A and B are shown apart, each in its own frame.
Chain A
Amino acid sequence: NAGVTQTPKFRILKIGQSMTLQCTQDMNHNYMYWYRQDPGMGLKLIYYSVGAGITDKGEVPNGYNVSRSTTEDFPLRLELAAPSQTSVYFCASTEFLDRVYTGELFFGEGSRLTVL
């Protein structure tokens, strides 16, 4: 299993450009998440999904959009990029096993985005 795969790993955007961060998982997990990590600020939840066709906002959704058309894919769209969106973005997934919460989120390796 590849786990959670994120692309691209690095990207530089100009202010006002748009882009999509891709996230794919091959573990058949229903729950998927997008976090951003800024220095000294921990992980902040942007959007999450509890299954295909269902998405909801997290703590910091402004400036982002998501979709979940399949169980495997959970892309994050940045519209009109701003310098405040310079960050490291992590996609993660999880599942209950036999209805028991395991505490484990599986993270991708991150996508480093710089907006200039």
Chain B
Amino acid sequence: QKEVEQDPGPLSVPEGAIVSLNCTYSNSAFQYFMWYRQYSRKGPELLMYTYSSGNKEDGRFTAQVDKSSKYISLFIRDSQPSDSATYLCAMKLTGGGNKLTFGTGTQLKVEL
């Protein structure tokens, strides 16, 4: 079993749709949860960061962490063509050299 599982997609939605992206994980010691966005032929960039459980909202983006189910989600409201990218979840233990464990990424395409 992989430490972090993520559906690779591709996921295609019409403009304006609500998008739900998800990751599951097996290591209950993960405490820090991130979502990175990666445009084609670019490096990933941090989109959302959550510590431990709960929700966090930033504009059209909402990140949720459910530690009891070992499940994290990223919701994108009113999706735009500019949201077309690969979304990678990432997780970190406390300490440990700040090493992140990444999911495989979900490719999202928002169509006009």
Contact = CB atoms under 8 A, between A and B. Distances in A.
B104 A56 contact: no
A103 B88 contact: no
A42 B43 contact: no
Contact of B41 (A41, A56, A101, A110): A110
B55 to A, nearest CB: 15
Given A41-B104, A43-B44, A110-B43, 6 more contacts: A43-B102, A50-B98, A101-B51, A104-B46, A105-B46, A107-B44
* B-side interface mostly: strand
Contact of B42 (A44, A45, A56, A109): A109
Interface string A91-102: 010100000011
Contacts of A45: 99-100
B97 interface: yes
A58 B99 contact: yes
A43 B46 CA distance: 14
Given A101-B32, A103-B34, A103-B46, A40 B97 contact: no
29 contacts: A31-B98, A33-B99, A35-B102, A41-B104, A42-B6, A42-B88, A42-B102, A42-B103, A42-B105, A43-B88, A43-B100, A44-B102, A45-B100, A50-B97, A92-B43, A94-B98, A101-B32, A101-B51, A103-B34, A103-B49, A103-B51, A103-B92, A104-B49, A105-B100, A107-B43, A107-B44, A109-B41, A109-B42, A110-B42
A48 interface: yes
Contacts of A94: 98
Interface size bracket, A side: 20 to 34
Contacts of B103: 42
A104 B48 CA distance: 9
Nearest to A105: B100
Interface string B73-112: 0000000000000001000100001111011110000000
Contacts of B6: 42
A109 B97 contact: no
